[in-house]
Amino acid sequence: MKLPFADKRLGAIGSKLENGTRLSKEDGLLLFETQDLTGVGMLADTVRRRRHNDTAYYVYNQHLNYTNICKNRCRFCAYAVDREDNGAYTWSMDEVEQRLRSRIDEPVNELHIVGGLNPALDFDYFIQLLKTVKRVRPTASIKAFTCVEIDYLSGLSGLSVEETIGALKDAGLDMMPGGGAEVMSDRVRNELFPKKIDSKRWLTIMEAVHNSGLTSNATMLYGHMETLEERVDHLLKLRELQDRTHGFSAYIPLAFHSANTKLPHLPATTAMDDLKNIAVARLLLDNFDHIKAYWVMIGEKLAQVALSYGADDLDGTIIEERITHTAGATSAKGLTRKQMERMIRSSGFVPVERDSFYRPVSPGQEVS
């Protein structure tokens, strides 16, 4: 039975995908604009299965947010505070070690480390942070610092971006997360994050990261004031850089949460939009291997559905997520391996626990 698309225009996009023709900006706009979510999802699922069949990845990870003091104070961020505010914190190395040791019996494979731009910290703090983590957890990978932090650290150290990345690598940095790009639009930046590095700088730093031999992820923060055209432009800029460096590992659309931000009036993203962002990314980012459904932001249940709309990865067990929960996320603070595997299996996929580089971890091992 060959079912027609509810939106006939998707047929032409299906033909392009069949012929291996790259999708255009206009195709991207159509995919975001159409109400035929099922059609877009079918296309994305076909492409996803070609690459990953019925495999769905997750990682046993732990988040470490070393300080919430940040001089940028982006309007969409509920996590950052000023130094004198209630709840401001910066972890000492003892506190970092204590957090790691509190989970030392768990098979944590990846440490995801990001924080605010805190003027009280010097460059050596970051070197010691990486060294402390490597000493306490020598077998785990360190995925740390966004391009925003790298730019800041380069200023702090007086080193070039390349030298800064080199020093961080020597201290234990293994790969970089994808945050800080937000939406690559000067219009949105002026309104929501004027103090943060601009898209050109983000892309330049990412290129230097990839040229240093490190891989990274990429994200887009959606669901605030961005237009559909700005979303598509953002994805195409990532695709263009990936053509040159092949250094991106996964793309993660991040659903905006407005509680405790300067934009509390904005409504939550809809399920339709969350799934669209996954599916369109799978179709436009033809040179990205992995599309992540970040369950912390879209919830455990929708993340399961997202596996059939183009996603092949659910991120991880997390343990103590702070950034989205401060902005009102109602998802769990962390999940066990057993919960992750159940989420994946009950969606009809085969769970594969991975490391930061998508290598399977101890296949066949007992899950607890």
Q: From the CB of 112, what's the least distance to ligand V47, in Å? A: 6
Select the span of 66-74, 132-140, 284-292, 339-347 touching ligand SF4 (CB under 6 A).
66-74
Options 32, 60, 294, 349; binder of ligand V47; rule CB under 6 A: 294
In Å, how far from its chain's centre is CA 347? 22
Q: From the CB of 327, what's the least distance to ligand V47, in Å? A: 3
Q: From the CB of 263, what's the least distance to ligand SF4, in Å? A: 13
Nearer to ligand SF4, 70 or 175 (CB): 70
Contact 76, 326 (CB under 8 A): no
Options 31, 323, 343, 344; binder of ligand V47; rule CB under 6 A: 323
CA-CA distance, 93 to 96, in Å (whole number)? 5
Q: Count CB neighbours of 228 within 10 A.
A: 16
CA-CA distance, 363 to 368, in Å (whole number)? 14
Nearer to ligand SF4, 192 or 311 (CB): 192
Task: Kindly provide the b/e burial profile for residues 87-96, where b requires at least 16 CB atoms within 10 angstroms of the residue's own CB.
Answer: ebebbeeeeb
Site for ligand SF4 in 108-167 (CB under 6 A): 116-117, 148
Edge-to-edge strands of the sheet including 61-64? 61-64, 110-113, 141-144
# chain residues binding ligand V47, by CB under 6 A: 22
Site for ligand V47 in 210-269 (CB under 6 A): 217, 219, 221, 252, 254, 256-257, 261
Based on the shown chain and the rule CB under 6 A, indicate whether residue 111 belongs to the binding site for ligand V47.
no
Nearer to ligand V47, 115 or 351 (CB): 115
Q: From the CB of 262, what's the least distance to ligand SF4, in Å? A: 10
Based on the shown chain and the rule CB under 6 A, indicate whether residue 79 belongs to the binding site for ligand SF4.
yes
Nearer to ligand V47, 23 or 214 (CB): 214
Binding partner at 254 among ligand SF4, ligand V47, none, C-beta below 5 to 8 Å by kind: ligand V47
Options 177, 247, 253, 351; binder of ligand V47; rule CB under 6 A: 177
Binding partner at 100 among ligand SF4, ligand V47, none, C-beta below 5 to 8 Å by kind: none
In Å, how far from its chain's centre is CA 305? 18
Nearer to ligand V47, 305 or 327 (CB): 327
Q: Of 198, 197, 201, 143, which is closest to residue 318 (Cα–Cα)?
A: 143
Site for ligand V47 in 45-84 (CB under 6 A): 76-78
Based on the shown chain and the rule CB under 6 A, indicate whether residue 70 belongs to the binding site for ligand SF4.
yes
Q: From the CB of 168, what's the least distance to ligand V47, in Å? A: 16
> Residues 169-198 vs ligand SF4: string with x where CB under 6 A?
------------------------x--x--
Q: From the CB of 293, what's the least distance to ligand V47, in Å? A: 11
Based on the shown chain and the rule CB under 6 A, indicate whether residue 284 belongs to the binding site for ligand SF4.
no
CA-CA distance, 54 to 349, in Å (whole number)? 5
The contact set with ligand V47 (CB under 6 A) reads 76-78, 146, 177-180, 182, 217, 219, 221, 252, 254, 256-257, 261, 294, 315, 323-324, 327
The contact set with ligand SF4 (CB under 6 A) reads 70, 72-74, 77, 79-80, 116-117, 148, 193, 196
